Amino acid sequence: MTIWIVAGAIFLGVTAFVVAAGLILRDKQAHQAIAGRLDMFAGLKASTDTEMPTLLREPISEGAKESLFTRMRSPTAWLENLILQADLRFGAGPFLLVSGVLAVLGVLAAIIFRMPVFLVPLGTVPGVCPLMFLFARRRGRLKKFAAQLPDALELIARALRAGHSLPSGFQLVSHEMPAPIATEFQRSYDEQNFGVPLEDALKNLGDRVPNMDLQFFITAVAIQRQTGGDLAEILDKLGYVIRERFKLFGQVAALTAEGRLSGWILNALPFLLLVALLKLNPNYVMLLFTDPLGRKMLIVAGIMQVMGAIAIRKIVNIRV
């Protein structure tokens, strides 16, 4: 009976802490944003705009490659950005709450079934699962957006040749193409309609979708608005270059398929072998968890496993 009381107290305490932290961080960010807007309207805070457009001042990069220091300095902002890029309908507070609850449930399972050896894994793996799902959804959405971008650029180029404006081309993409590119261009079109400058709307689009090809498009639009030129021809050439890059990506993927398959097999083999031995001879395998020397061997094996996975990934991950 005592173990159930302790487990319940731990669960309620961690849940209350996670909920309180999420609410405090969310309210703090909201108040700071509102206060900044009010100061700007009242003239107490100067605008950050300068003569040179921000799109031309900032270097082109592959998007959300923030440093570790930046992520540690603003972890909730980084998490909110990931959630926005994954197109999920909740904030960082509920996300942290779900992660904390899953971690606590894993710890409770280890306590209830009297498995102190698995206390850390059962508390860590369920808590990390929401973050893994977030990264997987974000990666799939960005990959789909990249595949749709050449068609969208060609559609905008045809709209420009037909006499439409660039925002009208955005609206045409939102009507004629599927998500996620239709959703993102519709947001940019709505921002522009609500009075946001086109440069800022494009910058927001680049923040939501960290894609190098999209950054080229945004920079091309910014340069064309400053110096002039045939934007339709630029978009056609950019779409052609993106398609050729995708062909090269396919060739590289075909050449490295054997290495990637070998990496998956080598990474999964130790875990499959551990499960098989636990089924065949549990007493033989449990020495790795109960004996001090066995635990040290497990730690060394885990470190070597991670190093091997990183080495294989570096070999097969050819950047184009």
User: What integer is the mean pLDDT of 149-177?
Assistant: 91
The last residue of one of the domains, among 92, 109, 138, is 138
- Answer with the residue of higher pLDDT: 73 or 80: 80
**Poorest-confidence range of 175-184, 186-195, 198-207, 279-288?**
279-288
**Poorest-confidence range of 11-15, 49-53, 287-291?**
49-53
Answer yes or no: do 104 and 11 share one domain: yes
Answer yes or no: do 134 and 11 share one domain: yes
The number of residues in the chain equals 320
Strands (E), 33-181: none
Percent above pLDDT 70 for the chain: 75
- The pLDDT assigned to 41 comes to 47
- The pLDDT assigned to 63 comes to 44
Task: Pick the closest to residue 216 from 65, 55, 64, 85 (CA basis).
Answer: 55
Answer yes or no: do 35 and 123 share one domain: yes
- The pLDDT assigned to 39 comes to 55
Residue 292 has pLDDT above 60, yes or no: yes
Residues 11 and 101: their CA atoms lie apart, in Å, by: 8
- The pLDDT assigned to 101 comes to 85
Give the Cβ contact number of residue 261 at 10 Å: 11
Percent above pLDDT 90 for the chain: 13
Answer yes or no: do 6 and 128 share one domain: yes
Answer yes or no: do 105 and 199 share one domain: no
**Average per-residue pLDDT for the chain:** 78
pTM of the shown model:
0.66
Q: Is 11 exposed, middle or buried (0-12, 13-18, 19+ CB in 10 A)?
A: middle
Question: How confident is the model over 91-144, as pLDDT tens digits?
Answer: 778 888 888 888 888 888 878 877 776 677 777 888 888 889 999 999 999 999
**Is there a domain that residue 111 lies in?**
yes
The last residue of one of the domains, among 115, 138, 161, is 138
- The pLDDT assigned to 98 comes to 85
Residue 194 has pLDDT above 70, yes or no: yes
Confirm if 118 and 51 have CB atoms less than 8 A apart: no
Residues 235 and 102: their CA atoms lie apart, in Å, by: 47
Residue 287 has pLDDT above 80, yes or no: yes
- The pLDDT assigned to 61 comes to 46
- The pLDDT assigned to 16 comes to 55
∠ CA 104-107-112, nearest 5°, is 120
Strands (E), the chain: none
Answer yes or no: do 299 and 175 share one domain: no
Answer yes or no: do 179 and 134 share one domain: no
Structure tokens at 315: 């070999």
Residue 3 has pLDDT above 60, yes or no: no
Residue 208 has pLDDT above 80, yes or no: yes
State the residue for tokens 């110096």. 227
Residues 129 and 140: their CA atoms lie apart, in Å, by: 16
Confirm if 104 and 14 have CB atoms less than 8 A apart: yes
User: What H or E segment, with its residue span, contains residue 8?
Assistant: helix 2-42
Residue 178 has pLDDT above 70, yes or no: yes
Residue 69 has pLDDT above 50, yes or no: no
**Is there a domain that residue 262 lies in?**
yes
Q: Which residues contact 130 (CB under 8 A, 6 or more apart)?
A: 95, 98, 99, 102
- The pLDDT assigned to 148 comes to 92
Amino acid, res. 97:
L
User: What integer is the mean pLDDT of 153-180?
Assistant: 90
Residues 275 and 113: their CA atoms lie apart, in Å, by: 19
Structure tokens at 294: 């066995």
Per-residue burial over 289-311, b = 16 or more CB atoms within 10 Å of its CB, e = otherwise: eeeeeeeeeeeeeeeeeeeeeee
Answer yes or no: do 70 and 182 share one domain: no
**Model confidence band, residue 34 (pLDDT cutoffs 50, 70, 90):** low
Positive or negative torsion for Cα 75, 76, 77, 79: positive
Residue 65 has pLDDT above 60, yes or no: no
Range of the domain at 125: 2-138
- Answer with the residue of higher pLDDT: 157 or 109: 157
The last residue of one of the domains, among 84, 108, 138, is 138
Answer yes or no: do 27 and 48 share one domain: yes
**Is there a domain that residue 252 lies in?**
no
Q: Is 250 exposed, middle or buried (0-12, 13-18, 19+ CB in 10 A)?
A: exposed
Answer yes or no: do 57 and 115 share one domain: yes
Residue 1 has pLDDT above 80, yes or no: no
Answer yes or no: do 7 and 131 share one domain: yes
Residue 25 has pLDDT above 80, yes or no: no
Residue 62 has pLDDT above 50, yes or no: no
Amino acid, res. 81:
N
Answer yes or no: do 219 and 307 share one domain: no
- The pLDDT assigned to 149 comes to 92
Q: Which residues contact 74 (CB under 8 A, 6 or more apart)?
A: none
- The pLDDT assigned to 252 comes to 84
